[in-house]
Chains A and B, each alone.
Chain A
Amino acid sequence: GENVEQHPSTLSVQEGDSAVIKCTYSDSASNYFPWYKQELGKGPQLIIDIRSNVGEKKDQRIAVTLNKTAKHFSLHITETQPEDSAVYFCAAARKADSSASKIIFGSGTRLSIRP
């Protein structure tokens, strides 16, 4: 089955700097790669996702890149702010329009923004 590895497990950056979280996946049939943000005491919330037919996607200060050949994908946060402090999860799934998608999650990255 699918296995998703995520690095680093903890990351501390100065406010205003950029943060990068990297993930690898094992199942070459995976075609959907969401990223979730989890704040303390809350459930994970989808922040951005990318499908395998796209190499990069941006949404304001957040961007994701996907390298299908190497089975790598990354989350980039620019101009970090205190409210970016949270745990971030990458994930991968085989997604078909007619069926449920079993999303497999990485182990998470705890991001801390230093003032």
Chain B
Amino acid sequence: NAGVTQTPKFQVLKTGQSMTLQCAQDMNHNSMYWYRQDPGMGLRLIYYSASEGTTDKGEVPNGYNVSRLNKREFSLRLESAAPSQTSVYFCASSSRGGGGYTFGSGTRLTVV
């Protein structure tokens, strides 16, 4: 099993550009999450999807939108990228009532 797959692995954007980060899981998990990781600040929750068809805001949702396309896929969109969104983005998934998250390998995004 591939687990959680994120694309792309690296991306450089200019301020004001838009892009979508893709995430797919093949573990039949119900819930999916997007986190950002910044030095000294751990991982902060951007948005999550408890189940197919639902999405909710996390700690730092401003500047982002998400789509739970189906049970497998959960995308994160930056409509107008800003330098403050330079970060490493991680997607994760979990099963209902199960243990912790399974994380993808991350997308390193730089906004110049």
Do A and B interact with each other, yes or no?
A: yes
Residues on A with beta carbons closer than 8 Å to the beta carbon of B102: 46
Any B CB within 8 A of the CB of A43: yes
| CB within 8 Å for A89 and B43 given contacts A43-B106, A99-B50 | yes
Residue of B nearest to A35 (CB): B100
Q: Distance (Å) between the CB of A99 and the closest chain B CB?
A: 6
The CA of A107 and the CA of B100, in the complex, are separated in Å by: 18
Residues on A with beta carbons closer than 8 Å to the beta carbon of B41: 107
Residues on B with beta carbons closer than 8 Å to the beta carbon of A106: 42
| CB within 8 Å for A34 and B40 given contacts A100-B30, A100-B94, A104-B45 | no
Residues on B with beta carbons closer than 8 Å to the beta carbon of A43: 4, 90, 92, 103-106
The CA of A91 and the CA of B33, in the complex, are separated in Å by: 15
**B97 contacts which of A6, A36, A41, A97 (Cβ < 8 Å)?**
A97
| CB within 8 Å for A102 and B48 given contacts A9-B40, A44-B43 | yes
The CA of A105 and the CA of B33, in the complex, are separated in Å by: 13
The CA of A97 and the CA of B105, in the complex, are separated in Å by: 27
* Contact B103 A98, beta carbon cutoff 8 Å: no
Residue of A nearest to B4 (CB): A43
Any A CB within 8 A of the CB of B75: no
Using a CB–CB cutoff of 8 Å, the interface residues on chain B facing chain A are 4, 30-31, 33, 35, 40-45, 48-51, 58-59, 90, 92, 94, 96-97, 99-106
> 26 A–B contact pairs at CB < 8 A?
A34-B100, A34-B101, A41-B105, A42-B106, A43-B4, A43-B103, A43-B106, A44-B43, A44-B103, A46-B100, A89-B43, A95-B97, A97-B97, A98-B97, A100-B33, A100-B48, A100-B94, A100-B96, A101-B94, A102-B45, A103-B100, A104-B45, A105-B35, A105-B44, A106-B42, A107-B41
Any B CB within 8 A of the CB of A45: yes
* Contact A107 B42, beta carbon cutoff 8 Å: yes
Residue of A nearest to B35 (CB): A105
Q: Distance (Å) between the CB of A66 and the closest chain B CB?
A: 15
Residue of B nearest to A89 (CB): B42
Residue of B nearest to A36 (CB): B100
